[in-house]
Amino acid sequence: MKKGKRTLYILQFFIIIFFLCILLASKVLTNKILVAFFLMVYAFIAKMLINRSKPISIYKKEVFKYMTMFAIIYIVMYYVLGIYVGYYTSTYKFGFKTLINYIIPLIVIIISSEIIRGEFLTEKTKLARFNTILFIVLVDLVVYVNIYNLFNLNEFLQALGYIFFASIVSNILFNYVAEEFGIVPNISYRLITTLYLYIIPVTPDVYIYFKSVCRMIYPMLVYISLKSVYEKDKLIVKKQSKTVKSLTTTGTVIFMAIIAGLISCKFTYGMLVIGSGSMTGTIDKGDAIIYRREKKIDNVSKGDIIVFKSNEKRIVHRVVKIDDINGELRLYTKGDNNVQQDPDYVKEDSLVGIVKLKISKIGMPTIWLNEFFKGIKRGK
């Protein structure tokens, strides 16, 4: 390892320690301007210490256009989806304050982190790639994780998917592009897919877990597309291996998209994890159920297991009686493991859906995490 690279690794170690302290400390310290300053200084030192040779590729300008196009398509598809799920007013209003506190710091963070990526990836080694991903994922965590309460299970899972896993997948793509075509395409892609939130006044009301999966799937698709277009003439692996790999990746993407759609509960079918024992014997604690959304009580029969809302919670119980009171249908429910019938009846506006499938024990990790976080709250 050259002396300049060794110095950068040592400096990076201290920056990582500092960033970890920020993550563990008060939210007040998690300041985008502060992170932008440290990254800008570190990027400047990296440029000074390493005499980087630029990647030689005849496709450099073409890939820049390609990445820019993919970034624009991502935003367009996201807002088209809003036609179906609706929009809400963005929490960020474009103006001087937003420009100073968010837009300019994020521009500095993105450009600086890509300069750092480019310098470290002069060595096309697994260590250099792993180190780069580790460092930039940490930067993403420091910049964005402070908006979440990590002692709340739901927000912890949101941060895990929307920031941590999405950042890992994205940086695999960015490492590949930086090695083969330079950092400029990455800068273009990242600026477009990051800054729109602070400029466009409305945001699609897309469920957070669905957005998280999209943030993981889309970079995978871009990566596969780039590899297929610009490495089609390289005999890296056998054709059969490429086909198997492509099918596996496609299957994974489809599976993740289906799971995201189910978890979002915004489409025809939804998924819930059972967190109580009221239906034990039929549906046990830790099982997951898949239900079909239903708005009309007329379509519910006695004996159906339904999902309904009660005091801001979603309950999964069986219909034991249906009454027609002055033209209003009322559903009376009971948990199969409960002695008594539920005290309240279910009206049409409380009905969510009808259970169609049970998947045993798949939700146990969620139950364990929920109990773990409840234990943390009790210990406070």
Tell me which of 365 and 96 has the higher pLDDT: 96
Q: Is the pLDDT assigned to residue 163 strictly greater than 80? A: yes
pLDDT tens sequence across 298-314: 899 999 999 999 887 88
pLDDT tens sequence across 317-342: 999 999 988 888 899 999 999 999 99
- Is-contact 347 328, C-beta < 8 A? yes
**Which of 15-29, 154-168, 187-201: highest mean pLDDT?**
187-201
Tokens matching residue 207 = 């469920």
- Is-contact 188 67, C-beta < 8 A? yes
Query: What integer is the mean pLDDT of 172-180?
Result: 92
User: For residue 266, what are the CA distances in angstroms to 258, 356, 357?
Assistant: 12, 16, 18
**d(C-alpha 123, C-alpha 188), whole Å:** 23
Q: Quick one: pLDDT band at residue 195, thresholds 50, 70, 90?
A: very high
pLDDT tens sequence across 129-145: 898 999 999 899 888 88
Residue 95: its pLDDT value, please?
86
Amino acid identity, residue 305?
I
**d(C-alpha 180, C-alpha 172), whole Å:** 13
Residue 233: its pLDDT value, please?
47
What's the pTM? 0.70
Query: What integer is the mean pLDDT of 71-96?
Result: 86
DSSP three-state, residue 377: helix
End-to-end CA distance of the chain: 47
Tell me which of 180 and 191 has the higher pLDDT: 191
Query: What integer is the mean pLDDT of 192-206?
Result: 90
- 270-379 classified as CATH 2.10.109.10: yes
Tell me which of 110 and 91 has the higher pLDDT: 110
Q: Is the pLDDT assigned to residue 234 strictly greater than 70? A: no
**d(C-alpha 166, C-alpha 218), whole Å:** 10
Q: Strand 351-359 relative to strand 269-273: parallel, antiparallel, unpaired?
A: unpaired
Quick one: DSSP state of residue 345?
P
Query: What integer is the mean pLDDT of 7-22?
Result: 78
pLDDT tens sequence across 245-282: 555 555 665 666 666 666 656 678 888 888 888 999 99
Residues in the chain: 380
Question: Any idea where the domains of the chain sit in the sequence?
Answer: 3-264, 270-379
Tokens matching residue 257 = 């998209």
**d(C-alpha 18, C-alpha 141), whole Å:** 13
Place of tokens 């049970």: 358
Torsional class of 86: left (φ above 0), alpha (ψ -120 to 50), beta (otherwise)? left
**d(C-alpha 21, C-alpha 31), whole Å:** 13
**d(C-alpha 145, C-alpha 159), whole Å:** 6
pLDDT tens sequence across 24-42: 665 544 478 888 888 898 8
